[in-house]
Amino acid sequence: MKNIYTIPASAGETTAGSNRPFFNHVPDRLWNDWRWQMRSRVRTVEKLAQYLPLSHEQQEQLSFVTAKYPLSITPHYLCLINPDDPYDPIRRQAVPALEETALCGLGDEDPLAEAELSPVPGLVHRYPDRALIITGNICPVLCRHCNRKRQWRQGPFIQTDATLAPMLDYIQKTPGIRDVILSGGDPLTFSTGRLERLISALRRIKHVEIIRLGTRYPVTLPQRITVELCSMLAKYGPIWVNTHFNHPAELTPEAARACQRLLRAGMPVNNQCVLLRGVNDTVEVQEALCRGLLKINVRPYYLFHTDDVQATEHLRTPVEAGVAIMAGLRGSVSGLGLPTYVVDLPGGGGKVPLQPDYLISGSDSEYVFRNPKGKICRYRNPKN
């Protein structure tokens, strides 16, 4: 099948002036200002109804859902939605669905047992060499598939220097930790100054080798990736950025430019995609996404099976769907563009990779494989 999603030829080079149907009265100066984007987030059903056709009944249903699971969409991300398509893949990720409350009996609040694995509040320590700091719960767009949805109900919060101190102290006293992940709610919600205080404090800890930023700002609010932010981050490398593109329609010129800036400041950008029903659960969409990411120098890192999180069931697929997608990609997409499909095991069991089985049998003398096209191939096994 032909790809229907293409990246604008100008990806990575241009700035504003691109497609913004609902906001063409907004001057570029404001549109490109991340604070304006943040201030202008759509956070009520009434406001959303100004942009998307919603019947009175739909508005009532949405109000019911948002009482439990709020809504937040940046103007940038809102403009990626085709208002005439009720199944639009961007809409599905950002606009609440009745299923969030209707199917809420399924799943867990905290399937990865993050609370249990927190030696100090806000810091998850699951693997000996890695620690994850939850920097808050404020994101520009509230993803409907968020695996920390449990945090939405406590009202907006952000870690302060005072609440970060015990986490830094724990990392300082735990020499096995080499890799510190800032995750969230999004760490780029921090002001650049506060982020610099945290990152420079981590850098003063000798055994911390790398710092990772887990952020969806390049996708949902790319204007946040300013020259000022990047020159601050460039002082504290090695920093690795993991972002979260789920669909090729998110590969806008603004997003490409944000990734380019991070890369030029020395930060490799990897992508962590979540497999979502009705969003990206076909080989065609995943292929277009992976190819599109390579074109903007972003490496597909993980394809996550959706965690068993309460209020996300309508977006989950069977595990087989992910394996079938990997089977469809292998052999037809550059190896650089192939993510590892992983299931994050409940109870803090950790991530395990899943892939189609290419090995049929193996012995001391011979291995038998099936290649991605289904052809059986024999391989002589060298003597030990």
Ligand X SMILES: *Cc1c(COP(=O)(O)O)cnc(C)c1O
Tell whether residue 148 is a contact of ligand X (CB under 6 A). no
Question: Applying CB under 6 A, which of residues 130, 194, 330, 370 lies at the interface with ligand X?
Answer: 130
- The position carrying tokens 């000996």 is 128
Please say which residue, 13 or 129, places its beta carbon nearer to ligand X: 129
Helix count and strand count (H, E) for the chain: 14, 12
Please say which residue, 130 or 295, places its beta carbon nearer to ligand X: 130
- Looking at this protein, which amino acid is placed at residue 256? A
**Cα end-to-end span (Å), the chain:** 46
Please say which residue, 76 or 126, places its beta carbon nearer to ligand X: 126
CB of 348 to ligand X, least distance (A): 8
HEC states along 162-188? HHHHHHHHHHHCCCCCCEEEEECCCHH
217-242 per-residue burial string, b: 16 or more CB within 10 A, e: under 16: bbbbbbbbbeeebbebbeeeeebbbb
* Bridge partner list, 351: 344
Tell whether residue 213 is a contact of ligand X (CB under 6 A). no
Please say which residue, 223 or 310, places its beta carbon nearer to ligand X: 310
Residue nearest to ligand X (CB): 126
Tell whether residue 170 is a contact of ligand X (CB under 6 A). no
Residue among 108, 351, 367, 370 flagged as catalytic: 351
Tokens of 121: 């509040």
CB of 307 to ligand X, least distance (A): 10
SS3 state at 329 = helix
HEC states along 198-251? HHHHHHCCCCCCEEEEECCHHHHCHHHCCHHHHHHHHCCCCEEEEECCCCHHHC
Please say which residue, 126 or 224, places its beta carbon nearer to ligand X: 126
C-alpha–C-alpha distance, residues 297 and 11, integer Å: 11
Question: Applying CB under 6 A, which of residues 181, 182, 213, 269 lies at the interface with ligand X?
Answer: 181
126 is catalytic: yes
Q: How many residues bind ligand X (CB under 6 A)?
A: 7
Tell whether residue 126 is a contact of ligand X (CB under 6 A). yes
Please say which residue, 199 or 256, places its beta carbon nearer to ligand X: 199
User: Would you call the peptide bond into 347 cis, given omega within 30 degrees of 0 as the criterion?
Assistant: no
Residues 328-357 close enough to bind ligand X by CB under 6 A: 351
230 is catalytic: no
Q: Is the dihedral of CA 55, 57, 61, 66 positive or negative?
A: positive
DSSP symbols for 78-91: HTTS-TT-TT-HHH
For 190, left (φ over 0), alpha (ψ -120 to 50), or beta? beta
CB of 351 to ligand X, least distance (A): 5
Tell whether residue 295 is a contact of ligand X (CB under 6 A). no
Question: Applying CB under 6 A, which of residues 62, 90, 132, 225 lies at the interface with ligand X?
Answer: 132
Tell whether residue 124 is a contact of ligand X (CB under 6 A). yes
Tell whether residue 309 is a contact of ligand X (CB under 6 A). no
80, 88, 286 from 281: Cα distances, Å: 19, 13, 7
Tell whether residue 127 is a contact of ligand X (CB under 6 A). yes
341 is catalytic: no
Please say which residue, 248 or 348, places its beta carbon nearer to ligand X: 348
What is the C-alpha radius of gyration for the chain, rounded to an integer number of angstroms? 22
Residue among 51, 127, 170, 236 flagged as catalytic: 127
Tell whether residue 299 is a contact of ligand X (CB under 6 A). no
143 is catalytic: yes
Q: Given the rule CB under 6 A, which residues bind ligand X?
A: 124, 126-127, 130, 132, 181, 351
Active site residues: 126-127, 130, 139, 143, 146, 148, 307, 344, 351
